[in-house]
Amino acid sequence: MTSDGALILVVDDDDDLREAQVETLALAGYAPTGVASADQALAQLQIASPHVVLSDIRMPGLDGLEFHKRVAAIDPELPFILMTGHGDIDMAVAALHRGVFDFLPKPFGADRLLPVIQRAARQRRLVLENRRLTQLVENAEAEEARSGLIGQAPAIVRLRETIAQVARAGVDVLIQGENGVGKETVARGLHRSSARRARPFVVVNCAALPEDVLDAELFGRSPTSGYGRRIGGRVREADGGTLLLEEVEALSPALQIKLLKLMETGQISGEDDQAFSLRFLTTTRIDLDAAAAGGAFRSDLYYRLSVVTLTLPSLRDRREDIPLLFRHLVSQAAARQKKTPPPIDDATDAHLMMRDWPGNVRELAQAAERFVIGLDRNGGATGVADGSLSERVEAFEARVLDEALKAAKGDVRAVMARLDLPRKTFYAKVKRHGIVLDDYRRGD
């Protein structure tokens, strides 16, 4: 039986019985404190909060039921156990509905007392740990608003410090890391913290479009006459703000030259005399330094893009951050789905930290969505959670949609065809289950 020195407050006006309970708990490894009245106990609660309160139901002055009300007003999640006489059983049962953790009919021995105390102490520790992590999540969300990163791992702490310095400097930044580590999130954090925050933040994925389409998307279309300024383009849209080029390694040699010219002169082409003011942020999944050294990417462009290089670690390299990240993502998923976040226990944390998460934060976010839906209450298993028939059917349907979207890499038409779902029905189900389609499509 594990006690871990949990603090137990024993309240009983019978000196002999109180001392007997204190002795039993101390021998079991707990740290008990005995007081003779509820008033003394309330004073003790102002000094230190115990893990469990064990109180007699009948005492002079404030009785056990009224004492519980006072304790619940201070902390409704503090486990409160009543010791009752034979004639008080009905009263104690009614008290369970008002939040009392459990009751022990007298007389009882250590074999009945200790298991109840152990359960209560374990629940209290879980509550306290969840409170601690909730506070960390709130602090982390404030950090994310500034830097785009959540976590306490040394590498993340250093990155946040660097991001704060780089954001103010306004230099061009290359962000590298595996798929799903949060490169776009960091880029958005850099923009939010920069002097350009009030100007546009424009994102272009260089690997998503053929060269000719990407050329027009980035630099605009040539005028019909063939002379003068180009029309449209994301560069023009981002003027004064930040342009994020995702998977910049996918740029063709011709587009690399055009981008280099833009960075050097602020102009798109010789016949277009408009000068643009942009901050360039780029992301890559490869070692762009090695690619430039090997001739696969222009070295002069690489040096322009990488005034500062930020390398984001994978989740497997910062496992200690996974419980904190998961709670943050569960909170976000629950808000989207208009649900109360499910409790997360130590076993779930351990399971999450054992996995390698090749998809990194994006994969963890999808696990959080499934966790909130009820598909997976272990943070990674594939079983359907317990519940009513309708809840199980809902969970099964959500899992089918999740698996189909993964298999189709977010291709909505392929999923609708595979599942034989009309468009309206498909989108209604996606909305009901809180599924974020972009999570299945993007490669950041």
pLDDT in tens, 176-215: 999 999 999 999 989 988 889 899 999 999 999 999 999 9
* Backbone dihedral angles phi then psi of residue 85, each to the nearest 5 degrees: -85, 170
Residues of the chain with pLDDT under 50: 1, 225, 381-386
Q: What is the DSSP string of 40-90?
A: HHHHHHHH---SEEEEES--SSS-HHHHHHHHHHH-TTS-EEEEE-GGGHH
The confidence score (pLDDT) of residue 428 equals 85
Domains of the chain in start order, with CATH, are: 7-131 (3.40.50.2300), 148-313 (3.40.50.300), 316-441 (no CATH)
The confidence score (pLDDT) of residue 319 equals 92
289-313 pLDDT, tens digit each: 999 999 999 999 999 999 999 999 9
What CA–CA distance (Å, rounded) separates 260 from 269?
A: 11
Is the separation of the CB atoms in 47 and 40 below 8 Å? no
Query: Which parts of 170-312 fold into alpha helices (H)?
Result: 183-192, 211-219, 234-237, 253-265, 288-293, 299-305
Q: What is the DSSP string of 87-144?
A: GGHHHHHHHHTTT--EEEESS--HHHHHHHHHHHHHHHHHHHHHHHHHHHHHHHHHHH
Name the pTM for this structure: 0.58
The confidence score (pLDDT) of residue 385 equals 45
The confidence score (pLDDT) of residue 370 equals 87
Is the separation of the CB atoms in 398 and 387 below 8 Å? no
**Strand ranges for 220-348 from DSSP E:** 242-246, 279-284, 308-311
CA-closest candidate to residue 12, choices 34, 29, 43: 34
The confidence score (pLDDT) of residue 20 equals 93
The confidence score (pLDDT) of residue 382 equals 40
The confidence score (pLDDT) of residue 309 equals 95
What CA–CA distance (Å, rounded) separates 219 from 237?
A: 10
What CA–CA distance (Å, rounded) separates 48 from 198?
A: 48
The confidence score (pLDDT) of residue 348 equals 86
Residue 443: how many CB atoms within 10 A of its CB? 16
The confidence score (pLDDT) of residue 384 equals 41
CA separation, residue 357 to residues 135, 193, 316, 352, 410 (Å): 25, 29, 7, 9, 19
